[in-house]
Amino acid sequence: MHTWRVEANECLAPRFYRLVLVSRRSAGGAAPGQFYMVRVGRGTDPLLPRPLAVYGMEARGGGARLTFVYEVIGRGTGILREKAPGDEVEALGPLGRGFAWHRPERPYARVIMVAGGIGLVPFLLLGRRLTEAGLPALYLYGARTHREVVLVEDFRALGVGMRVYTEDGSLGEKGLVTAGLTAALADGTAAPEDTLVCACGPWGMLEATATVAREAGAPCQGSPERRMACGMGACLSCVVRRSPGCAGDGGIEGVRTDTGGQTGAPGTRTGDAEPNAAGRADDGPPDAKPTSTTGIKGDPWLRTCQEGPVFATEEIDWEAERGGA
């Protein structure tokens, strides 16, 4: 764990906050989709850190500036909301494997980012990388209502195409973001097989996105929501079922060849990651899961914190997850 100082913790909309942390210590870089385990309280209350994806990360002087965006949903994020400038927060990361948008053998012609609610977080960094690489990108953002639409200006400033969808039609187009994906994949900008779909959001939205992409013939990567206890691959609280037809060896090896020149390439760990005592829960134990998860070939489970959080969506057994995740 590394200690950061709170520079700002501002309310963006009811329940949505942006937390800016600074450190005199350099933190390296973060790949889009990587996350930190953030210790929200002092001591052991609550004991477990909470996973938060990286929204922004930049060098500042000899140190670093790290930005998270979070939705207050329970005790941990409720405590985080109370942090004030000058407070200290411990965080471990960046962890996991991010989106693999670089396909050397046949570069993608376009990337479509599909965000549901707070699932927008990894896409500012991804959008920035895509813009720097000159790769055409489209950002599709879905929320229930205009009150939950945040940070649109940040994405507009990136210069990527953007469409907003609300379920009640109070902002942007009325409907689900997956309808936007269906239309975008058919708009003739690039062949679906050369269009990478990157998705992050609630489980149902992620599955629907994977289905739309598969039916159109577009490769798709997604970052599913999972509860995490350790973030280090030890406790198995975060596993997802691997598709029986997928004989990979964890994560999206074979699809992913690097993370676009960023840190956090497959199999590497960046930042200040270090082993911790894992597998114990403070406020409710992690779900009981089989103890066979290793990420090795043939294993039926994938650890979100280790082989993910970003997976090729065909690696996930959606049907089994729906039945009893």
Contact 201, 115 (CB under 8 A): yes
Task: Rule CB under 6 A: choose which of 198, 305, 310, 312 binds ligand FES.
Answer: 305
Tell which one of 29, 32, 41, 76 touches ligand FAD (CB under 6 A): 76
If contact means CB under 5 to 8 A according to the sort of partner, which of ligand FES, ligand FAD, none does residue 235 touch? ligand FES
Q: How many residues bind ligand FES (CB under 6 A)?
A: 14
Q: What residues between 223 and 262 interact with ligand FES by CB under 6 A?
A: 228-231, 233-238
Position among 60, 75, 83, 128 found at the interface with ligand FAD (CB under 6 A)? 75
**Contact between 192 and 184 (Cβ < 8 Å):** no
Tell me the C-alpha distance between 292 and 116, whole Å.
32
By CB under 6 A, residue 80 contacts ligand FES:
no
Sequence length of the chain is 325
Contact positions with ligand FAD (CB under 6 A) in 228-247: 228
Residue 117, classed as helix, strand or coil, is helix
Among 27, 125, 278, 312, binds ligand FES (CB under 6 A): 278
Local structure of residue 131 (DSSP, 8 states)? H
CB-based contacts of 323: which residues, under 8 Å, 6+ apart? none
Q: Which residue has the tokens 């936007």?
A: 180
**Residue of the chain from 189, 227, 300, 321 that contacts ligand FAD (CB under 6 A):** 227
- Asked if residue 34 lies in contact with residue 264, where contact means CB atoms within 8 angstroms, the answer is yes
Strand partners, 58: 65
Please, what is the minimum distance in Å from the beta carbon of residue 46 to ligand FES? 15
The phi and psi torsions of 165 (rounded to 5 degrees) equal: -125, 135
Strand, coil or helix: 132: helix
Please state the closest distance from residue 56 (CB atom) to ligand FAD, in A.
11
Residue 117 vs 286, nearer CB to ligand FES: 286
Under the binding rule (CB under 6 A), the answer on residue 315 touching ligand FAD is no
| Dist CA 181 CA 213 (whole Å) | 8
CA distance 172 to 149: 10
Does 38 sit near ligand FES (CB under 6 A)? no
| 280 in Cβ contact with 46 (< 8 Å) | no
123: left (phi over 0), alpha (psi -120 to 50) or beta: alpha
Considering only 51-59, 85-93, 190-198, 211-219, which stretch makes contact with ligand FAD by CB under 6 A?
51-59
If contact means CB under 5 to 8 A according to the sort of partner, which of ligand FAD, ligand FES, none does residue 119 touch?
A: none
Query: What minimum distance in Å lies between the beta carbon of 310 and ligand FAD?
Result: 9
Q: Please state the closest distance from residue 278 (CB atom) to ligand FES, in A.
A: 5
CB of 279 to ligand FES, least distance (A): 7
CA distance 113 to 51: 21
Question: Between 22 and 41, how does the x/- string for binding to ligand FAD read (CB under 6 A)?
Answer: -------------x------
Q: Name the region of 260 (left: φ>0; alpha: ψ -120 to 50; beta: rest).
A: left
Options 20-28, 46-54, 151-159, 239-247: segment touching ligand FAD (CB under 6 A):
46-54
Q: Which of 86, 88, 113 is nearest to 99 (CA)?
A: 113
Taking CB under 6 A as the criterion, the residue among 29, 41, 51, 116 binding ligand FAD is 51
Interface with ligand FAD includes 186 (CB under 6 A)? no
Q: Is the dihedral of CA 107, 110, 116, 119 positive or negative?
A: positive
Binding interface with ligand FAD (CB under 6 A): 35, 50-53, 68-71, 73-78, 118, 121, 225-228, 304, 309
Residues that bind ligand FES (CB under 6 A): 228-231, 233-238, 278, 303-305
